[in-house]
Amino acid sequence: MTKLPADTPTDLLDERLTRYVGFGGAVRSLQSRVRGGDLGSMPVVIGLAVVWIVFQMLNPNFLSADNLVNLTMQCAAVGTIAIGVVLVLLLGQIDLSVGSVSGLSSAILGVGMVQLHWPVLLAVVVAILAGAAIGLMYGLLFSRFGVPSFVITLAGLLGFLGLQLKILGPNGSINLPYESWIVQFAQTAFLPSWLAYALAAIASIGFFVTHSRRAERRRRGGLSTGSIPAIVLKASGLFLFLTATVWYLETGRGVGAMFLLFLVLVVVMNFALTRTVWGKSVFAVGGSVEAARRSGIRVVRVYVSVFVLCSTFAALGGLLAAARLTSASLSSGTGDVNLNAIAAAVIGGTSLFGGRGSAWAALLGIVVIQSISSGLTLLNFDSSVRYMITGAVLLFAVIIDSISRRSRARHGTT
């Protein structure tokens, strides 16, 4: 048996746990994770790079600043819905009604603002509360009666689509006042340049502070941790990437406020999933319900809270979509909204089997889907081609997830 140094961190006292140091060690660590089936976000990042390179070669306007600004604005509404889908998938469940719930919220907004003359804020609050109430109903039906989430939300898809049609009435379409603040927020609100650069700097500083504090806590606990210079290097790289992105988008219309709202929601949910007891409970329940229950986690509360959040995000996404289109109509939330939100969560790296994924999957997945849509539109392909290619990408993502899950099982890391 090899004698380990006296200052070996507690979590590495088992000599079978290899510690990698330096750049070469980082490469070997990456190779080890890939062999073990822990692919992380690597497949979707590589896929996104391939999509962007191919479309840029076919049409030089694809990576223009104006097109990228449009792409970010198109991501916000469905991406917000996809955040909720990620949460449900982490539990190994599904919500098929997110499109109908988003359409219902847009109908409440339109009728409230235009026909009932509610203040915009009141209409927004009522629409979001309606979404939360729907999620609460799903959670209670699932946890109290054991009805599969597939069946509950399929019934919700039909039922709330009918309620949306009922609320909209015989006209079936309501135009939102262009001068209202919610429409202005979705259509014309862009960050001032100084604010965009300031947020890029704050994000980089926040990254450094968060990771350095985590390293300090692990060091005090006698656990292994990364070096401070490595954290500084990563934070500097993040700052350069963000400032370069802001600079390029500023050559067009800039960074949209609606896209910033989407990013903030992703960051907040990522924090909730990774740094709170609730978030760790979500992963625990998604990994094994029985093990989570035996460890004292209140499984019912976790299920109910996740369904409430999923429907709330769907309602908020519906409001953003209606504001961007300046209308609430029979087509709101229908078509490909439902499928794109679910596909974005899966393509972004959330496992269909539960217990693996992150809030960033919603961002990565929706950027891939909207990039394909934008590129095919520039090439004058119709929707039929877009559906087929998006379906193929979704199938590829599920196959990758299935293969990595088998690999983790073989290596005992599931």
Following DSSP, what letter does each residue of 43-92 receive, concatenated?
HHHHHHHHHHHHHHHH-TTTTSHHHHHHHHHHHHHHHHHHHHHHHHHHTT
* CA neighbor of 311 nearest in space, from 122, 90, 159, 96: 96
Q: What pLDDT, on a 0 to 100 scale, did the predictor assign at position 163?
A: 93
pLDDT at 374 over 80: yes
- Provide the pairing of β-strand 173-175 with 327-329: antiparallel
Instruction: Note the pLDDT tens digit of each residue in 202-235.
Output: 999 998 998 888 888 878 877 767 677 888 888 9
Tell me which range, 23-32, 130-139, 145-154, 388-397, is most confidently predicted by mean pLDDT: 130-139
Calculate mean pLDDT across residues 320-333.
89
Q: Is the CA virtual torsion 31, 34, 40, 46 positive or negative? A: positive
CATH class of 68-189+256-402: mainly alpha
Q: What pLDDT, on a 0 to 100 scale, did the predictor assign at position 68?
A: 93
| Structure confidence at residue 24 as a pLDDT band (50, 70, 90) | low
Instruction: Note the pLDDT tens digit of each residue in 382-404.
Output: 778 877 887 787 787 777 767 77
Q: What pLDDT, on a 0 to 100 scale, did the predictor assign at position 48?
A: 86
Give the whole-angstrom CA distance, residue 124 versus residue 371.
Answer: 29
Q: Which helix (H) or strand (E) holds 125?
A: helix 120-145
Domain boundaries, the chain: 68-189+256-402
pLDDT at 124 over 80: yes
User: Hey, what are 360's tokens?
Assistant: 């960033």
Give the whole-angstrom CA distance, residue 307 versus residue 305.
Answer: 6
Q: What are the C-alpha distances in Å from 133 to residues 105, 127, 156, 312, 389?
A: 12, 10, 12, 8, 36
Give the whole-angstrom CA distance, residue 177 versus residue 325.
Answer: 11
pLDDT at 409 over 80: no
pLDDT at 168 over 70: yes
Are 372 and 390 contacting, i.e. CB atoms less than 8 angstroms apart? yes
pLDDT at 33 over 70: no
